A and B are shown apart, each in its own frame.
Chain A
Amino acid sequence: MPLLEITDLHARVAEKEILKGISLTVNPGEVHAIMGPNGSGKSTLAGVLSGRDAYEVTSGEVLFDGQDLLELEPEERAQLGVFLAFQYPVEIPGVNNTYFLRAALNSIRKYRGEEEMSAPAFLKLVREKMNVLHIDQSLLNRPVNEGFSGGEKKRNEIFQMAVLDPKLAILDETDSGLDIDALKTVAEGVNALRSPERAIIVVTHYQRLLNYIVPDFVHVLSGGRIVKSGGKELALELEAQGYGWLESGSTSELVAA
């Protein structure tokens, strides 16, 4: 059974239709890249999957593990194993990073019928994952994302993903604004989490990240639709020719269809 099955998804913000019929199937173990120019609907897709209430789904269906994802609250989706790495991680002054993460983990474990993790066991887990992401211990004792650099925030997202162990991770432009060293660190962290049970959707504007997180499939989003799908070589093709090439190409394709 596919892990995620999106069928003819339409969604809008206020009165503006952004997603105009997206269909996508993601199986466990696969890494899908979703690329596209600004305004193509990439972040809207990530937002709809994670349950942002700014978006209204007007038609279509999203099944996660065979369950209707769209009727669930954001926290229920997270508990089921959907993880969104935010494009802009939020600073939350006054809430300790470690506390926050443990509350999140225990909330997910509770949902799965597992016992809450004790503080020592949690700290052991955290230390393990911290090393992979080169996260400084001091970040853990600070308020969530407060005063973190751009790169620290993105690494913190992947670090959270490592701790929460989701079935499906959606990385929403995790590469934006990162220098090459930070990008490599983030990619390393993501690659370490690739597994036959887990699927990853990498949403990005740029091909560069995909040199380090090599996808199994690449989909190109334009005007709220997937206009082209292919293997990892599609990303290189896009890189060489730019989105402009694609849009003219897609138009002719659509006309042909």
Chain B
Amino acid sequence: MKTETMTVPNSYLRDFTGTDTGSDNPGPAWLSSLRQRAAARFAEVGFPTRRDEEWRFTNVSPIAETPFTLATKTQSELSAEGLSRFTYQDLAGTQMVFVNGHFASELSSESFPDGVTVKTLAAAMADDSPLVEKHLGKSAKFETESFVALNTAALEDGAFVHIAAGAIVTAPIHLLFVSTADSGPTVSHPRTLIIVEENSQVTLIESYAGPAGQVYFTNAVTEVVVSENAVVDHYKVQRESEKAYHIATMQVALAQSANFSSHSIGLGGLLIRNDVNAYLGGEGIECTLNGVYLGKDKQVFDNHTSIDHAMPHCNSHEIYKGILNDYSRGVFNGKIFVREDAQKTDAKQTNQTLLLSPYAQIDTKPQLEIFADDVKCTHGATIGQLNAEALFYLQARGIKKDDARALLTYAFASDIVSRIKVDAIRSQLDRVLLAERALEGIAG
């Protein structure tokens, strides 16, 4: 229970509750109502503090204390060349780009494959308000999460992805959120709604990035609705500036026989909090939540996941791996709920952390709540250093110590890397893990 709230700076409230958000299109009435309720809620609860159980290990007061402002559209110009360092050169597929939360049509794909609708949330609300109203804000609840409330209060626009029933989309759809803060700290509240209809299949990438050295705050919320028998492979690549704050919630609602995989890749940022929550609301669902993050300097990576088994015969697999160097810190909290009806659940959770420096640290907490009696649930957490004997073994075969360390670090993450099906992301991760060393093809 929360016993204290942090004072909310006036700038936040003025930005979200007034009419000075810069929007000339207020959207449908239900949206205004949603925003107002969210703003009121945020005004009431404010930012979480470390007295809040869910925020025990992560202090967000730097976010509350930094005077972030919403960047205007004109402050959010980005050339194609400027964009190129945040995209993948060798990624086939389509992309939608936002800069400081503003849709950049000139940087985005003009057309999308059959069965794929990608547009701004504002356009989606103009075209089909009932469809958006049915899903937006339904699984990401502003009532219980202050950052979701903040995001919802600021909701004007965002990304809307709709995959039609039966569509098999082979090339990935890349949603790229770039932040810039050339003239002082900026904040953006990226909002994404992904609706995947029955029997379809799609690969989605969400990336968040910004120029090195810039101070900004990304407060993202993504809602994913996966309908019956649909298959979704989701990648989140977080490459924010080393001075950026990144708080994100992804809320996934899964229907019968759906197959959802999440790969959360954390490479950048100063303070990062990722909440990934999956609700398994039908039988025969396969849900995979994987994550890997690389911390250095004083980075803080806080990953909270929740898998809610509400129905029988569902499998969930979860592996989160942290590689922490220097003074970086990690937090892992993995909740698994198995409701009374969820018999024959098979849930497996693993959290492993590699500490590369004596100053790095991790707080890890598996949290299983099981109300059914015929289920299989396992969890395990390990924390360790590079195996000195393995290091010596590699050196004794002529491999340089630094290369040997990179090799073993890579090996630690290899089971997550090998599950990444998008080549461009996998090779990006290979390069980072191997510290740009020319060690290729090592996967065992």
Identify the A interface with B (CB < 8 A): 50-53, 73-75, 77-79, 83-84, 86, 89-97, 99-101, 103-105, 107-108, 111, 142-144, 146, 160, 164
Across the interface, which residues of B come within 8 angstroms of A96, CB to CB?
441-444
Across the interface, which residues of A come within 8 angstroms of B439, CB to CB?
103
Across the interface, which residues of A come within 8 angstroms of B415, CB to CB?
94
- Whether the pair A52, B399 counts as a contact (CB closer than 8 A) is no
- Whether the pair B395, A73 counts as a contact (CB closer than 8 A) is yes
Identify the B interface with A (CB < 8 A): 387, 389-390, 392-401, 403-404, 407-408, 410-415, 439, 441-444
Across the interface, which residues of B come within 8 angstroms of A107, CB to CB?
397-400, 403
- Whether the pair B414, A94 counts as a contact (CB closer than 8 A) is yes
Residue pairs across A and B with CB atoms within 8 Å: the count is: 100
Interface centre among B389, B390, B392 (most CB of A within 10 A): B392
Interface centre among A51, A100, A111, A142 (most CB of B within 10 A): A100
Known A73-B401, A90-B389: A95·B395 in contact at CB below 8 Å? no
In angstroms, Cα B410 to Cα A237, docked, is: 50
In angstroms, Cα B34 to Cα A90, docked, is: 59
In angstroms, Cα B76 to Cα A33, docked, is: 74
Contact of A99 among B401, B412, B413, B442 (CB under 8 A): B442
Q: Closest CB of chain A to B36's CB: distance in Å?
A: 51
In angstroms, Cα B389 to Cα A171, docked, is: 17
- Whether the pair A90, B387 counts as a contact (CB closer than 8 A) is yes
- Whether the pair B414, A99 counts as a contact (CB closer than 8 A) is no
Known A75-B401, A104-B398, A107-B399: A90·B442 in contact at CB below 8 Å? no
Interchain Cβ contacts under 8 Å between A and B, 16 examples: A74-B396, A75-B400, A78-B395, A91-B390, A92-B408, A93-B414, A94-B414, A94-B415, A95-B410, A95-B411, A104-B394, A104-B397, A105-B398, A142-B444, A146-B444, A164-B398
A96's closest neighbor in chain B, by CB?
Answer: B444
A109's closest neighbor in chain B, by CB?
Answer: B398
In angstroms, Cα B389 to Cα A53, docked, is: 11
A85's closest neighbor in chain B, by CB?
Answer: B396
- Whether the pair A78, B443 counts as a contact (CB closer than 8 A) is no
Across the interface, which residues of A come within 8 angstroms of B444, CB to CB?
92-97, 99, 142-144, 146
Q: Closest CB of chain A to B394's CB: distance in Å?
A: 7
A94's closest neighbor in chain B, by CB?
Answer: B411
- Whether the pair B412, A94 counts as a contact (CB closer than 8 A) is yes
Interface centre among B389, B394, B410, B413 (most CB of A within 10 A): B394
- Whether the pair A52, B411 counts as a contact (CB closer than 8 A) is no
Q: Closest CB of chain B to A146's CB: distance in Å?
A: 7
Across the interface, which residues of B come within 8 angstroms of A78, CB to CB?
395-398
A sample of 16 more A-B contacts (CB under 8 A), given A93-B411, A103-B399, is: A51-B395, A73-B401, A75-B396, A78-B398, A79-B398, A90-B392, A92-B394, A93-B414, A95-B408, A95-B444, A96-B443, A99-B443, A107-B399, A107-B403, A142-B444, A146-B444
Across the interface, which residues of B come within 8 angstroms of A95, CB to CB?
407-408, 410-411, 414, 442, 444
In angstroms, Cα B393 to Cα A194, docked, is: 24
Across the interface, which residues of B come within 8 angstroms of A79, CB to CB?
398
In angstroms, Cα B412 to Cα A99, docked, is: 16
Q: Closest CB of chain A to B211's CB: distance in Å?
A: 33
Contact of A100 among B389, B395, B397, B400 (CB under 8 A): B397
- Whether the pair A90, B390 counts as a contact (CB closer than 8 A) is yes
Known A96-B442, A99-B444: A90·B393 in contact at CB below 8 Å? yes
Contact of A164 among B397, B403, B411, B413 (CB under 8 A): B397
In angstroms, Cα B443 to Cα A53, docked, is: 28
Across the interface, which residues of A come within 8 angstroms of B403, CB to CB?
103, 107
In angstroms, Cα B204 to Cα A211, docked, is: 64
Q: Closest CB of chain B to A80's CB: distance in Å?
A: 9
Across the interface, which residues of A come within 8 angstroms of B414, CB to CB?
93-95
Q: Closest CB of chain B to A162's CB: distance in Å?
A: 13
- Whether the pair B401, A103 counts as a contact (CB closer than 8 A) is no
Interface centre among A51, A89, A93 (most CB of B within 10 A): A93
Contact of A104 among B389, B399, B401, B408 (CB under 8 A): B399
The 8 A-B residue pairs with the shortest CB-CB distance, nearest first, are A94-B411, A143-B444, A94-B414, A78-B398, A104-B397, A74-B395, A96-B444, A90-B393
- Whether the pair A100, B442 counts as a contact (CB closer than 8 A) is yes
Known A89-B393, A142-B444: A111·B411 in contact at CB below 8 Å? no
A141's closest neighbor in chain B, by CB?
Answer: B444
B417's closest neighbor in chain A, by CB?
Answer: A94
Q: Closest CB of chain A to B321's CB: distance in Å?
A: 11
Q: Closest CB of chain A to B11's CB: distance in Å?
A: 47
In angstroms, Cα B403 to Cα A73, docked, is: 14
